[in-house]
Amino acid sequence: MIYGVGIDLVKIERIKEVTEKWGKRFLERVFTENEISYCYEKKNPYLSLAVRFAAKEALIKAIGSEIPVSLTDIEVVNYGNGKPSIKVHGKLKQFLESKNIHDIHLSLSHEKEYGVASVVLESG
């Protein structure tokens, strides 16, 4: 059963500007160490940062306003085949378990100026 759906669109240049202005302070507030490392292995880290930010926002939209969420409790990971997925930590993990949400489906894409993420939460 579908518990929630969320989508978010992010302007890649916005993430680049914020990262250049605030640097490590911004990155560590929003992303996990693994996410930062993964993105900075890429030729253009801002594409990967932008879609990860969009994924976090899409997940928050999918759960609604039921609980406050720390962005670092949401971690976008990639399997060996490149498929993105979301790992949750902390209070968010406890919340999803309490709602019997067992699958988080994630799709990411970027094109020129924008990155987009879509999340579907499955329960039951």
The set of catalytic residues is: 61, 110
What is residue 73's DSSP assignment?
G
Residue type, position 74, single letter: I
Contact 74, 29 (CB under 8 A): no
Residue type, position 46, single letter: Y
What is residue 44's DSSP assignment?
S
User: What are the φ/ψ torsions at residue 117 (nearest 5 degrees)?
Assistant: -140, 145
Degrees, nearest 5: CA angle 23-13-57:
80
CA distances from 95 to 55, 64, 92, 116 (A): 18, 12, 5, 25
